A and B are shown apart, each in its own frame.
Chain A
Amino acid sequence: GESVGLHLPTLSVQEGDNSIINCAYSNSASDYFIWYKQESGKGPQFIIDIRSNMDKRQGQRVTVLLNKTVKHLSLQIAATQPGDSAVYFCAENVARGAGGTSYGKLTFGQGTILTVHP
């Protein structure tokens, strides 16, 4: 029978191009956001994070942008390389829940498949 599963957004780029991966989050109370990279056969790997008091943060070849007005998060990868091919997840956290703390519980997006062609 036909398999049914999550239909992840995909992004295909050429090596050397810049990539932009987008994420819409749902909880306006979220105040901490993380991007993860997951390669085949491995666990999600932390890339970069940003707190809600910032709208931009840069790492090595990566930049995260946060637009709280429209609840949108993006990950920019400069000079994309074949090794960047993976599934990318955004995650959000509410640092202070009703009980005073969320203990770091994250809510994950469904992911975006990035394919980099040599």
Chain B
Amino acid sequence: DAGVIQSPRHEVTEMGQEVTLRCKPISGHNSLFWYRQTMMRGLELLIYFNNNVPIDDSGMPEDRFSAKMPNASFSTLKIQPSEPRDSAVYFCASSQQGASQPQHFGDGTRLSIL
């Protein structure tokens, strides 16, 4: 079975550029989560969707960050303009709806902003 698929795996770009991270959740999962992981702060939840609708975006650090889920099989996290402090590993996870369902993670996008 295909797991959560993220692209790209690595992204290196200069500050000020727009960055778009992509995620394909596991088929049949209707909750999707975006996380950021750094040495300083560990794993942070940025935003999550249920049935393609954003439920809680309180973890999004700034207006430079935005996320969309146009359909059940695709989500994007966009940073515009990017800054060096955005450098981190960004993970996408998905789960089935309902109480007590584990999230399944992709292998992340390692983002470096120069």
User: How many CB-defined contacts (below 8 Å) exist between A and B?
Assistant: 68
Q: How far is the CB of B96 from chain A (nearest CB, A)?
A: 8
Size of the chain A interface, CB-CB below 8 angstroms: 28
Contact of B100 (CB < 8 Å), options: A5, A49, A105:
A49
Contact of A104 (CB < 8 Å), options: B4, B95, B106:
B95
Minimal Cβ-Cβ distance residue in B for A3 = B39
Q: Is B103 a contact of A6 with CB atoms below 8 Å?
A: no
Size of the chain B interface, CB-CB below 8 angstroms: 30
Contacts of A104 in B (CB 8 A): 31, 33, 95-99, 101, 103
Minimal Cβ-Cβ distance residue in A for B30 = A103
Bound-state CA distance A44–B103 (Å) is 9
Contact of B104 (CB < 8 Å), options: A3, A46, A95:
A46
Q: How far is the CB of B30 from chain A (nearest CB, A)?
A: 9
Q: Is A43 a contact of B42 with CB atoms below 8 Å?
A: no
Q: Is the interface of A mostly helix, strand, loop or mixed?
A: loop
Q: Is A34 a contact of B102 with CB atoms below 8 Å?
A: yes
- Which stretch in B12-20, B43-51, B62-70, B72-80 binds the other chain? B43-51
Contacts of B83 in A (CB 8 A): none
Contact of A51 (CB < 8 Å), options: B33, B39, B42, B100:
B100
Instruction: Report if B91 contacts A (CB, 8 A).
Output: yes
Instruction: Report if B25 contacts A (CB, 8 A).
Output: no
Residue interface mask A31-48, B partner, CB < 8 A = 1: 110101000011111100
Known: A4-B40, A106-B103, A108-B42. 12 other contacts (CB 8 A): A3-B39, A31-B100, A32-B99, A36-B105, A44-B105, A49-B100, A49-B102, A93-B100, A104-B99, A104-B103, A105-B45, A111-B43
B residues with CB within 8 A of A: 4, 31, 33, 38-43, 45, 48, 50, 55-56, 91, 93, 95-108
Q: Rank and list the top 8 A-B pairs by shortest CB-CB distance, nearest first.
A: A43-B105, A95-B99, A5-B39, A32-B100, A104-B95, A103-B50, A46-B102, A44-B105
